[in-house]
């Protein structure tokens, strides 16, 4: 299993870091088999897996259940778990208790926190010994304030602020930074400026690594893809085809066949039917 040190080394040597979100046992198992460097149990769970309209409805209990399932599926992969909405904005004491649910109870190797206003918490968790991934740019937990999911840091003052925030994440102890939906030129600047790896999503090719949402990447139950997603598969086509065939087979009495069926000894059949 790769560690935080390996990710720093990968940045230094120019090897891109691959990350994918997963939320359950089979997705984790297949992602580990495919050889990703890092798994994110993202709170995108709420949208792609649980069907909510935003991530703000995801609870710590949800994250613990799903992180544990991912651990069982990918026991040899570095797992980052998202701290869900409003679980790390209170007192240090309550924030730390919440982080420990993911790190200690669920067994995540790191936690991820969104936004520029949580530097104190990044420092607290890191000092405690919990590796932290920061997340800047588009921060979906702020959707109520932002109003829409859109590119961040396009204007000069916004870009300047993002650069400062990114530096502060590193100073506060984050071992990696996720940048979501920012112009590629800004990503390149920040990745050069920081010594910790920058993992991009909708942030261009110059990040030190990339992350995509599992369902988007394999084409599983999603109707609309953001501009930054490349669908590498279309498993939903296969799934619907399989289920349709099953429905037809049952209706037309083609399934189950003899080879899917249990039987009894002749003498018992005779007794039963006389």
What is the set of active-site residues?
180
Cβ atoms of residues 114 and 74 within 8 Å: no
Task: Point out which span in 42-50, 89-97, 230-238, 264-272 binds ligand KIV (CB under 6 A).
Answer: 42-50
Could you say whether residue 82 binds ligand KIV (CB under 6 A)? Answer: yes
- Does the annotation flag 24 for ligand binding? no
- Does the annotation flag 112 for ligand binding? yes
- Does the annotation flag 241 for ligand binding? no
Question: 10, 111, 166, 211: which one contacts ligand KIV (CB under 6 A)?
Answer: 211
**Of the two residues 59 and 92, which places its CB atom closer to ligand KIV in the complex?**
59
201 binds, among Na ion, ligand KIV, none (CB under 5 to 8 A by kind): ligand KIV
Q: Which two tokens stand for residue 78?
A: 């570095």
Query: Residues near 66 by Cβ (< 8 Å), separated by ≥ 6?
Result: 23, 24, 41, 45, 49
Task: Looking at 74-194, list the stretches that DSSP marks H as alpha helix, in order from N- to C-terminal side.
Answer: 92-100, 119-128, 143-146, 156-172, 184-193
**Of the two residues 61 and 270, which places its CB atom closer to ligand KIV in the complex?**
61
211 binds, among ligand KIV, Na ion, none (CB under 5 to 8 A by kind): ligand KIV
- Residue 139 Cβ vs Na ion, minimum distance, rounded to whole Å: 8
User: How far apart, in Å, are the Cα atoms of 131 and each of 61, 104, 126, 170, 198?
Assistant: 20, 12, 6, 12, 15
**Of the two residues 42 and 189, which places its CB atom closer to Na ion in the complex?**
42
- Residue 207 Cβ vs Na ion, minimum distance, rounded to whole Å: 16
Task: Looking at the chain, list the stretches that DSSP marks H as alpha helix, in order from N- to C-terminal side.
Answer: 4-13, 25-34, 60-73, 92-100, 119-128, 143-146, 156-172, 184-193, 214-218, 235-251, 266-273
- Does the annotation flag 94 for ligand binding? no
- Residue 43 Cβ vs Na ion, minimum distance, rounded to whole Å: 4
- Residue 201 Cβ vs Na ion, minimum distance, rounded to whole Å: 10
- Residue 44 Cβ vs ligand KIV, minimum distance, rounded to whole Å: 3
Question: Can you tell me whether residue 247 is helix, strand or coil?
Answer: helix
Beta bridge partners of 16: none
**Torsion angle defined by CA atoms of residues 105, 110, 116 and 119, in that order, rounded to the nearest 10 degrees:** 80
Mark 164-203 with x for binding to ligand KIV (rule: CB under 6 A) and - for no binding: --------------x-x--------------------x--
**Of the two residues 103 and 189, which places its CB atom closer to Na ion in the complex?**
103
Task: Point out which span in 38-46, 101-109, 232-240, 256-264 binds ligand KIV (CB under 6 A).
Answer: 38-46
Beta bridge partners of 212: 20
Half-sphere exposure of 117 (CA within 13 A, CB side): 7
- Does the annotation flag 93 for ligand binding? no
Question: Can you tell me whether residue 39 is helix, strand or coil?
Answer: strand
Could you list the residues known to form a binding site, using ranges: 43-44, 82, 112, 114
Site residues, ligand KIV (CB under 6 A): 21, 40, 42-44, 82, 178, 180, 201, 211, 213
């Amino acid at each position: 299993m790769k560690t935080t040190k390996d990710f720093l080394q990968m940045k230094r040597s120019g090897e891109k870091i691959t990350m994918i979100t997963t939320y359950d046992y089979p997705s984790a198992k297949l992602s580990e088999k495919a050889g990703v460097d890092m798994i994110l149990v993202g709170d995108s769970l709420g949208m792609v897996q649980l069907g909510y309209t935003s991530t703000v409805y995801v609870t710590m209990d949800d994250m613990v259940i799903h992180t544990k399932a991912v651990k069982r599926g990918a026991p040899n992969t570095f797992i980052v778990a998202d701290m869900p909405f409003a679980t790390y904005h209170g007192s240090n004491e309550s924030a730390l208790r919440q982080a420990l649910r993911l790190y200690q109870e669920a067994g995540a190797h790191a936690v991820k926190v969104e936004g520029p206003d949580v530097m104190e918490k990044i420092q607290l968790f890191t000092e405690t010994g919990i590796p932290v991934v920061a997340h800047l740019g588009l921060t979906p937990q702020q959707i109520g304030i932002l109003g829409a999911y859109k590119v961040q840091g396009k204007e000069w003052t916004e870009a300047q602020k993002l650069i400062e925030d990114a530096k502060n994440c590193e100073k506060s102890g984050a071992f990696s930074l996720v940048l979501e939906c920012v112009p590629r030129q800004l990503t390149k600047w920040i990745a050069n400026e920081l010594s910790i790896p920058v993992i991009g999503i909708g942030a261009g090719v110059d990040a030190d690594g990339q992350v995509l949402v599992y369902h988007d990447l394999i084409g599983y139950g999603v109707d609309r893809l953001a501009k930054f997603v490349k669908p590498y598969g279309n498993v939903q086509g296969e799934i619907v085809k399989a289920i349709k065939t099953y429905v037809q087979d049952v209706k037309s009495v083609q399934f189950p066949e003899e080879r899917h069926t249990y039987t009894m000894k002749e003498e018992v059949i005779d007794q039963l039917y006389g």
